[in-house]
A and B are shown apart, each in its own frame.
Chain A
Amino acid sequence: MDKRDTLWELFQKKNISRRDFLKTCVALTSLMGLSTELIPQVVEAAEQKPLPPVIWLHGHECTGCDESFIRSQSPLASDLVLNMIALEYMDVLASAAGEPLEHHLEETISKYAGQYLLVFEGAVPTAENGIYCMVGGKPILETLKHAASGALAIIENGSCAAWGGIQAARPNPTNSVAVSEVVRGKPIVKVPGCPPIPEVLTGTIMHFALFGQLPPVDSQGRPKQFFGNRIHDTCYRRPFFDSGMFVENFDDIASKAGWCLYKVGCRGPEAYNSCGNMRWWNGMSYPIQSGAPCVACAANNFWDNDPFYERLPNIPVPNTIANADKIGGILAGVTAAGVVAHGVASYIQHKVHQSKEEKAHGAGQQPEGDRDNE
Chain B
Amino acid sequence: MKRIVVDPINRIEGHLRVEIKVDETTGKVEDALSSGTAWRGIELVLKGRDPRDAWLFAQRICGVCTTVHALASLRAVEDALGIDIPKNANYIRNIIAASQMVHDHTVHFYHLHALDWVSPVAALKADPAAAAALQNTVLDKYTLNLSGPVSFDTSAYAKDFPKATTAYFKDIQNRIKKVVDSGQLGIFAAHYWDHPDYNVLPPEAHLMAVAHYLNMLDRQREIVIPHIIFGGKNPHPHYIVGGMPCSISMNDMNAPVNTERLAVVDNSINLSIDLANGFYVPDVLVIGDLFVKAGYVDGGGLAGQRVLAFGDYPEDHYSGIANGDYFKNLLVRANGVVENFGQGVAKATFYPLEGKDLSDPNVLAEGVEHSWYSYPETGKDLHPWSGVTSPQYTGPKEGDKTHWKYLDEAGKYSWIKTPKWNGKMAEVGPLAKYIVVYTKVKQGIIGEPTWAEKFIVDQIETVSKLLNLPPEKWMPTTVGRTAARGLDAQLSAYISKYFFDKLVNNIKAGDTNVANTRTWDPATWPQEAKGVGLHEAPRGGLSHWVTIKNGKIDNYQAVVPSTWNACPRDSKAGYGAYEASMIDTKVKLAEKPLEILRVVHSFDPCLACATHLYDREGKELSVVRTDPYL
- The chain A residues found within 8 Å of chain B, CB to CB, are 2, 4-5, 13-14, 53, 58, 60-68, 70-73, 76-78, 81-82, 86-88, 90-104, 125, 127-139, 142, 165-167, 169-176, 194-195, 198, 237, 249-251, 255-259, 275, 280-281, 284-293, 295, 297, 303, 306-309
- The chain B residues found within 8 Å of chain A, CB to CB, are 5-15, 17, 37-42, 44-45, 49-50, 52-53, 56-57, 60-64, 66, 107, 111-112, 115, 175, 178-179, 182-184, 186-193, 214, 217-218, 220-221, 224-225, 228-240, 242-249, 251-252, 254-256, 264, 393, 396, 399, 401-405, 512-515, 517, 520, 597, 608, 615, 618, 621-622, 625, 627-630
Known pairs A70-B107, A95-B191; list 19 more (Cβ under 8 Å): A60-B38, A68-B63, A96-B190, A100-B190, A127-B625, A128-B629, A129-B402, A133-B37, A134-B404, A137-B396, A176-B40, A237-B254, A250-B515, A251-B247, A251-B513, A255-B247, A275-B233, A281-B221, A290-B230
A-B CB contact pairs (8 Å), 29 listed: A14-B175, A63-B63, A63-B608, A64-B62, A66-B63, A67-B234, A71-B234, A72-B221, A87-B187, A90-B187, A92-B12, A93-B187, A95-B11, A95-B189, A95-B193, A99-B6, A100-B191, A134-B404, A169-B57, A173-B625, A194-B236, A249-B520, A250-B515, A287-B231, A290-B232, A291-B247, A308-B52, A308-B53, A309-B53
Name the A residues within 8 Å of B64 (CB-CB).
Answer: 62-64, 66-67
How many Å from the CB of A253 to the closest CB on chain B?
9
How many Å from the CB of A275 to the closest CB on chain B?
8
Name the B residues within 8 Å of A64 (CB-CB).
Answer: 60, 62-64, 66, 235-236
Complex Cα distance, B37 from A12, in Å, reads: 45
Name the A residues within 8 Å of B112 (CB-CB).
Answer: 92
Q: Are A284's CB and B228's CB within 8 A?
A: yes
Name the A residues within 8 Å of B514 (CB-CB).
Answer: 251
Name the B residues within 8 Å of A87 (CB-CB).
Answer: 186-187
Q: Are A289's CB and B232's CB within 8 A?
A: yes
How many Å from the CB of B95 to the closest CB on chain A?
13
Complex Cα distance, B41 from A172, in Å, reads: 8
Closest A residue, CB atoms, query B52: A309
Name the B residues within 8 Å of A81 (CB-CB).
Answer: 186-187, 217
Closest A residue, CB atoms, query B231: A290
Name the A residues within 8 Å of B12 (CB-CB).
Answer: 92
Total A-B pairs, Cβ < 8 A: 324
Q: Are B608's CB and A62's CB within 8 A?
A: yes
Name the A residues within 8 Å of B512 (CB-CB).
Answer: 256
How many Å from the CB of A109 to the closest CB on chain B?
13
Name the A residues within 8 Å of B243 (CB-CB).
Answer: 250-251
Complex Cα distance, B245 from A60, in Å, reads: 30
Q: Are A129's CB and B60's CB within 8 A?
A: no
Name the A residues within 8 Å of B41 (CB-CB).
Answer: 167, 173-174
Closest A residue, CB atoms, query B393: A131
How many Å from the CB of A256 to the closest CB on chain B?
4
Contact of A290 among B10, B61, B245 (CB under 8 A): B245
Name the A residues within 8 Å of B61 (CB-CB).
Answer: 62
Name the A residues within 8 Å of B192 (CB-CB).
Answer: 96, 100
Q: Are B187's CB and A94's CB within 8 A?
A: yes
Complex Cα distance, B12 from A98, in Å, reads: 13
Q: Are A77's CB and B218's CB within 8 A?
A: yes
Name the B residues within 8 Å of A295 (CB-CB).
Answer: 56
Name the A residues within 8 Å of B627 (CB-CB).
Answer: 128
Name the A residues within 8 Å of B15 (CB-CB).
Answer: 58, 133-135
Q: Are A290's CB and B246's CB within 8 A?
A: yes
Closest A residue, CB atoms, query B116: A95
Q: Are A289's CB and B256's CB within 8 A?
A: yes
Q: Are B13's CB and A130's CB within 8 A?
A: no
